[in-house]
Amino acid sequence: MKRTTLSRFLIEQQRTAGVLPGELRLLVEIVARACKAISHSVGRGALGGVLGSLDSENVQGEVQKRLDVIANEMLLDANEWGGHLAAMASEEMETIHLIPNRFPKGEYLLLFDPIDGSSNIDVGLSVGTIFSVLHAPTESATREVVEADFLQHGHTQVAAGYAIYGPQTLLVLTVGTGVFEFTLDREVGSWVMSDANITMPAGKREFAINMSNQRHWSPSMAAYVEACIAGASGPAGHDYNMRWTGSMVADVHRILKRGGVFLYPADSRTGQGKLRLMYEANPMAFLIEQAGGAATDGSERLLDIAPDALHQRVGVVLGDRGEVERVRELARMHR
């Protein structure tokens, strides 16, 4: 693959595909630059004093890791002066973050999960950053942005992506014209394209779920997983492998590159799932669908769900179309 950088890719998307207005190109460049800085921080680990937890809890009721807050600040600082955003929202902030009056405002809304997989930070496993871009309503040029402006269906996203801070630092991105992967060239500091128009391999018998939640699942979800474990002589007729990393970005990236299905179902504890619709499920669903996969809450297409709260949680079943459809079919049969 010829050495194409993120900047060149974005300019070509803007010029040829005409899908990338200048402000959106600037937005993606700035988010990618912030992810480079976050990668450096994550990589410093104990040497950078960035490990461990704070005494604070976020709106999710989770104890915040130092890096959750550091990465959140880095994304806010990188994005608030550029003039491309009307406001931002984050897993780590209860309310939306308005652009300070001293800076110009733009036409986009940026949502992010600054560090996904936080529980893995202190034990050296891959974590990442997830982001989603929406259009701000036109009237936001003349009035203050409010939380309701963010509550748009996932299919209105204009861009989505994630960075993974693992053996390599990768950026995976879609602007609606397919899925593209960039590897950080640490010597030069540029994002170099390492995969283009990614198509998720179909038919891979590998499922990702946290089995310790089994007693909380719906009967149909329990039936689906039992069939996976029953192997070739069971109702699914195939042997399956299982993986669960505790970082959605790592599980989703594996599925994007080699196939399989990711499940974090709604369960009896809260009636919803654990994952957040606006800045985890929706951006990942956009990417997976762009790569030829499917993404539901177990029944309904994730990108068609009408959000009713910024931090709302949702069940997630995404990846291999055949597997997602089997889950949906079992849910229909168990109604």
Q: Which residues bind ligand AHG (CB under 6 A)?
A: 62, 91, 113, 116-119, 210, 246-248, 264, 274
Choice from 23, 29, 62, 122 touching Mn ion (CB under 5 A): 62
Residue 110 vs 248, nearer CB to ligand AHG: 248
77 in a labelled binding site: no
Contact 234, 175 (CB under 8 A): no
Count Cβ atoms within 10 A of the Cβ of residue 253 and give its class: 0-12 exposed, 13-18 middle, 19 or more buried.
Answer: buried
Q: Strand ranges (DSSP E) for 188-300?
A: 190-195, 206-208, 241-242, 261-264, 294-296
State the sign of the Cα–Cα–Cα–Cα dihedral 163, 165, 169, 170. Answer: negative
CB of 7 to ligand AHG, least distance (A): 28
| Cα–Cα distance, 26 to 46 (Å, whole number) | 33
320 in a labelled binding site: no
Residue 84 vs 254, nearer CB to ligand AHG: 254
Long-range contacts of 221-230 (CB under 8 A, 24+ apart): 221/263, 221/265, 221/267, 221/298, 221/327, 221/330, 221/331, 223/330, 223/334, 224/263, 224/326, 224/327, 224/330, 225/263
Cα R_g (the chain), whole angstroms: 19
CB of 279 to Mn ion, least distance (A): 8
Choosing among ligand AHG, Mn ion, none, which partner's interface includes residue 246 (Cβ < 5 to 8 Å by kind)?
ligand AHG
Q: Does 181 bind Mn ion (CB under 5 A)?
A: no
Q: Does 91 bind Mn ion (CB under 5 A)?
A: yes
Q: Does 113 bind Mn ion (CB under 5 A)?
A: yes
* Stretch of residues binding Mn ion (CB under 5 A), selected from 14-22, 98-106, 203-211, 279-287: 279-287
The CB-side HSE value for 48 (13 A sphere, CA atoms) comes to 16
Token pair of 59 as six digits: 């709106």
The phi and psi torsions of 200 (rounded to 5 degrees) equal -65, 125
* Stretch of residues binding Mn ion (CB under 5 A), selected from 54-62, 177-185, 204-212, 306-314: 54-62
212 in a labelled binding site: no
Q: Does 80 bind Mn ion (CB under 5 A)?
A: no
Q: Does 116 bind Mn ion (CB under 5 A)?
A: yes
Choosing among Mn ion, ligand AHG, none, which partner's interface includes residue 240 (Cβ < 5 to 8 Å by kind)?
none
274 in a labelled binding site: yes
Q: Which positions touch Mn ion (CB under 5 A)? A: 62, 91, 113, 115-116, 118, 280
Residue ranges of the binding site for substrate: 116-119, 210, 274
